[in-house]
């Protein structure tokens, strides 16, 4: 447990000081403030403004940042891993658990710190057409999508020794699968279709079963990605 906490603190420190985080957060905040000003003066619909910000700003920028940070979780520290595990100061399970908690937890915290105040300001100053339950559910859906992306990125990090290959592979799989699933009509499994439906979700018009299905599918995929990461990391050579 001490090894897990030590790695967790160390990794969170790295993430906080990372140049990616220093670019990521301002790129989220600046457009958010601009949209709040526009919504207040132009009488924009709250649901459309929230969905537009998520689709055009937060998801692309955060998706890229999360992909890089998650894909570098293991493949970017191969020397440190080998030294720590071979000296028996930390087990493989402790190391992987700390990485998963830090990377996914950090992603969720950044997302909520940006979206909670932004959503409040948009609901207050834009033309009100949202429901509180719809906004909460919509924000949780996007948080789940980013968590799934992070979990899958960590899996790719255990599969590839090169960070760049892991990032490219992750982005290709997520983007192409989203369009293919939407083309096949499996919209409840497509990330792009879920994002396109966010305005209706914020207004509370999305059927409950559709939302439950999205939560079940992406929660299961996230759990499967995490389990795969543990299995691959236990089997790989250091």
Per residue in 168-213, pLDDT tens?
888 888 888 877 777 777 766 778 888 889 999 999 998 998 899 9
User: Could you give the CA distance from residue 208 to residue 210 in angstroms, rounded to a whole number?
Assistant: 5
Q: What is the pLDDT, as a whole number, of residue 140?
A: 96
More confident residue, 181 or 55: 55
More confident residue, 79 or 4: 4
User: Could you give the CA distance from residue 86 to residue 238 in angstroms, rounded to a whole number?
Assistant: 9
In whole angstroms, how far apart are CA 117 and each of 6, 70, 159, 172, 234?
Answer: 32, 26, 37, 32, 41
Q: How confident is the model at residue 237 (pLDDT cuts 50, 70, 90)?
A: low
SS3 127: strand
Q: What is the pLDDT, as a whole number, of residue 76?
A: 58
The CA-based dihedral angle spanning residues 179, 116, 144, 219, taken in that order and rounded to the nearest 10 degrees: -140
Check: CB of residue 142 under 8 Å from CB of residue 151: no
Instruction: For the chain, give the percent of residues with pLDDT over 90.
Output: 55
Q: How confident is the model at residue 50 (pLDDT cuts 50, 70, 90)?
A: very high
Q: How confident is the model at residue 82 (pLDDT cuts 50, 70, 90)?
A: very low
Whether pLDDT at 238 is above 70: no
- As to burial, measured by CB atoms within 10 angstroms (0-12 exposed, 13-18 middle, 19+ buried), residue 2 is exposed
Looking at every residue in the chain, the average pLDDT score rounds to 87
Whether pLDDT at 86 is above 50: no
Per residue in 118-151, pLDDT tens?
999 999 988 889 999 999 999 999 999 999 999 9
Helix axes 132-159, 46-53, angle to 10 degrees: 10
Instruction: For the chain, give the percent of residues with pLDDT over 70.
Output: 91
Check: CB of residue 44 under 8 Å from CB of residue 53: no
Q: Any idea where the domains of the chain sit in the sequence?
A: 2-235
Check: CB of residue 187 under 8 Å from CB of residue 179: no
3-state SS string for 165-232? HHHHHHHHHHHHHHHHHHHCCCHHHCHHHHHHCHHHHHHCCCCHHHHHHHHHHHHHHHHHHHHHHHHH
């Amino acid at each position: 447990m001490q090894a897990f906490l030590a790695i967790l603190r160390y990794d969170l420190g790295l993430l906080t000081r990372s140049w990616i985080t220093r670019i990521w957060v301002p790129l989220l905040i600046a457009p958010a403030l601009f949209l709040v000003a526009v919504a207040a003066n132009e009488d924009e619909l709250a649901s459309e403004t929230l969905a537009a910000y998520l689709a055009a700003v937060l998801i692309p920028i955060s998706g890229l940042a999360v992909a890089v940070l998650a894909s570098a979780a293991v493949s970017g520290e191969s020397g440190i891993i080998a030294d720590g595990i071979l000296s028996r100061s930390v087990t493989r399970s402790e190391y992987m658990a700390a990485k998963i908690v830090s990377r996914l937890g950090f992603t969720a915290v950044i997302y909520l710190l940006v979206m909670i105040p932004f959503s409040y300001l948009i609901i207050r100053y834009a033309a009100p057409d949202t429901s509180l339950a719809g906004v909460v559910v919509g924000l949780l859906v996007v948080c789940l999508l980013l968590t799934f992306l992070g979990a899958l990125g960590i899996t790719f990090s255990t599969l590839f020794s090169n960070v760049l290959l892991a990032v490219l592979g992750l982005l290709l799989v997520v983007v192409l699968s989203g369009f293919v699933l939407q083309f096949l009509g499996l919209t409840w499994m497509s990330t792009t279709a879920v994002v396109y439906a966010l305005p209706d979700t914020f207004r509370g018009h999305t059927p409950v079963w559709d939302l439950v299905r999205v939560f079940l599918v992406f929660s299961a995929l996230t759990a499967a990605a995490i389990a795969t990461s543990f299995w691959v990391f236990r089997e790989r050579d250091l």
